[in-house]
Structure 1
Amino acid sequence: MAVNNSGRWIKRAFYSQHAAPYVFISPFVITFLLFQLYPIISSVIMSFQEIIPGETKFIGLKNYQDLNNEHFFKAIWNSLRYTFWSLVVLLPFPMLLAVFLNSTNMVAKNFFRSTLFMPALTSIIVGGAIFRLVFGTLETAPANVFLSLFGFESVKWTSSAGAGMFIMVALASWRWMGVNLIYFLSGLQSIPQELYEAAEMDGANRFTQFFRITLPLLKPVTVYVLTISIFGGFAMFTESFVFWNTQSPSDIGLTIVGYLYQQSFEFFNMGFGSAIGIAFLFIVLSINILQLLITGQFRKENE
């Protein structure tokens, strides 16, 4: 009898309209607490500690004071440059490609969509290995052979700041172009076709329709892509790692996440690495809040 009562209670709890929402959101809440909130709290605590094998002690703000060094500032500068150039490529070009692929006059649309999205399904390590071969330092590297056809000298791609930044942005653009393209395509397909038909009847050409209809109605998607691209730019690690690991000449490939990895897992300075992570969190959070303010996403829409 007790077993039957407990079974009825469990069944009643799962079928209850009051309990059902909590049951459905519990996987997310548990995952968030274990894998996001707990690591953040632990990192904050560790950033005030000196952690060595077998000993942990609080050292106050020393880890944050140690951030005042040339390697950290170089990592910030590299991350800023990388984020800027990746935004220059990965915002306008996927948008324009999406406009062309969304056109009724475009042929083989599904083929081009699949082709552009396929790099996102490829391992970044595999892609990085291919890019290392293409942009090699030898004169026989494919990129240098291509330059020689136009009379340019060979470039040591992984030895200079400008060339190193170019190959990192090129690798990121190759991989993420198709992803942003899908975002913009979904936004374009949600725009009512009647707006374009009405504009065409009023004499608006393609350019006018793009700037007066497409761009304004794509603003929510654009802001979303901008937000995740800013975070992705600052969180970049693998693109740099496949070219230099964590030791690049004159820190030309050092990023904030790369510096965090270097200090935490190569030098085993977990406390200092945690301080880098907290600083990284505030930098990205501040920049994204700023761009959301600039784009007006915090303003209440008038009804």
Structure 2
Amino acid sequence: MTDSALETAANTEAKRKAKRSGILYSQKFAPYYFVFPFLVSFAVFFAYPVLSAINMSFQEVLPGQVKYIGLDNYKDLWNATFLKAILNSTKYTIYTIVILIPVPLVLAVFLHSKRMIAKNFFRSTLFIPALTSVVVAGTVFRLAFGELEGSLMNSFVMWLGFEKQRWLGNGALAMSTLVILAAWRWIGINLLYFMAGLQNIPKELYESAEIDGASTWNKFSRITIPLLRPITIYVFTISIYGGYSMFTESYMLWNGNRSPNDIGLTIVGYLYRNGLEQNNLGLGSAVGFALLLITFVITIGQLKLFGMFRKEE
């Protein structure tokens, strides 16, 4: 090969290296390339709608007419009905958390045990309700918890010697029905989260604990629960969001958004009532922004309480 050919090849290789050393091939910018699609989708499908809703909460939105009214929507927001919706959603969230964290955790420990038989059967049985449409589930529960003597639950309580109950007409019983429906549908989902966490716990820890004479309770309380802490916090966080955003279950149980004395009214139900049923999009947006603030404050508070913002040493 002649000197000119070698020089040409060297120049070509130098240009290629220079091209690869540009921004497109920079290791510094590589992470941003991977997160860019997420940032775009986040901006289009979350950030923009949230900002639009916040802006709309300061407006009076009528057909063909939009005008700013300041804080009037927020002044109208704080009324007895909205406060009852907050109370109902808060109760529902607390009750579901009390059930949907410890119960799936204990079930996951049992199903993870070597002594457990028919593991796949029980896993499938507990997970199947999560695949059921909430519309279908709500309809079935509305019939099962009906007020007639022939409904499933009234037949059961009358067989036990009690009087028939107005399951969806009494505040305490109505909330119990909502919680039972939530537990039936979501225990299987949370069970999978905890089972995934259990599979990541090294077996050597349990073997060492057995050699040291640790009891079953000691292994559960000092190994399982501490090492499942990240999973537990995650389940706790999504349970808060799921509790405060609940709407379809209530809507289907009462076959609409009008439960007796608003015993089944939730924050999202109040948003639906004002924003869509009464076409008051400004007030509905104010309800949505209030819901966002409530869930944000509670979520940040519980994450800080559990030390998720603590720096690792």
Q: Shorter-normalised TM-score: what interval?
A: over 0.9
Q: What is the alpha-carbon root mean square deviation over aligned residues? A: 1.9
1:233-257 per-position Cα deviation (integer Å, ceiling 9, x unaligned): 0011111110122111111000001
- Show the counterpart of 1:85: 95
- Show the counterpart of 2:194: 184
The SS at the match of 1:35 is helix
2: CA distance, partners of 1:301 / 1:99: 28
Give the AA of the match of 1:300: K
Give the AA of the match of 1:17: Y
Give the AA of the match of 1:128: G
Task: Give the C-alpha shift of residue 27 in structure 1.
Answer: 2.9
- Show the counterpart of 2:6: none
2: CA distance, partners of 1:217 / 1:119: 28
Range with greater deviation from structure 2 (290-299 or 193-202): 290-299
Within the alignment, does 1:17 sit opposite 2:25 as a pair? yes
Within the alignment, does 1:174 sit opposite 2:175 as a pair? no
The SS at the match of 2:66 is strand
Task: Give the C-alpha shift of residue 158 in structure 1.
Answer: 1.0
1:129-151 per-position Cα deviation (integer Å, ceiling 9, x unaligned): 11111111101101000001111
Task: Give the C-alpha shift of residue 185 in structure 1.
Answer: 0.4
Within the alignment, does 1:153 sit opposite 2:163 as a pair? yes
Within the alignment, does 1:292 sit opposite 2:300 as a pair? no
The SS at the match of 1:43 is helix
- Show the counterpart of 1:220: 230
- Show the counterpart of 2:276: 265
- Show the counterpart of 2:291: 280
Task: Give the C-alpha shift of residue 16 in structure 1.
Answer: 4.2
- Which structure 1 segments of 5+ residues have no match? 1-11
2: CA distance, partners of 1:16 / 1:101: 49
The SS at the match of 1:226 is helix
Counterpart of 1:203 (choices 207, 213, 225) is 213
The SS at the match of 1:140 is coil
1:12-55 per-position Cα deviation (integer Å, ceiling 9, x unaligned): 8xx94347655543432221111101100101100000001110
TM value normalised by structure 1: 0.93
Give the AA of the match of 1:287: I
User: 5 Å matches for 1:49-198?
Assistant: 49-198=59-208
Give the AA of the match of 1:254: L
1:49-101 per-position Cα deviation (integer Å, ceiling 9, x unaligned): 00011100000000011112001000000001000100111010000000000
Within the alignment, does 1:249 sit opposite 2:257 as a pair? no
1: CA distance, partners of 2:90 / 2:141: 22
2: CA distance, partners of 1:82 / 1:139: 27
Task: Give the C-alpha shift of residue 301 in structure 1.
Answer: 2.4
TM value normalised by structure 2: 0.90
- Show the counterpart of 1:6: none
What is the percent sequence identity of the aligned residues?
55
- Which structure 2 segments of 5+ residues have no match? 1-19
2: CA distance, partners of 1:77 / 1:270: 23
The SS at the match of 2:232 is helix
- Show the counterpart of 2:58: 48
1: CA distance, partners of 2:173 / 2:296: 29
Give the AA of the match of 2:262: D
- Show the counterpart of 2:43: 33
- Show the counterpart of 1:7: none
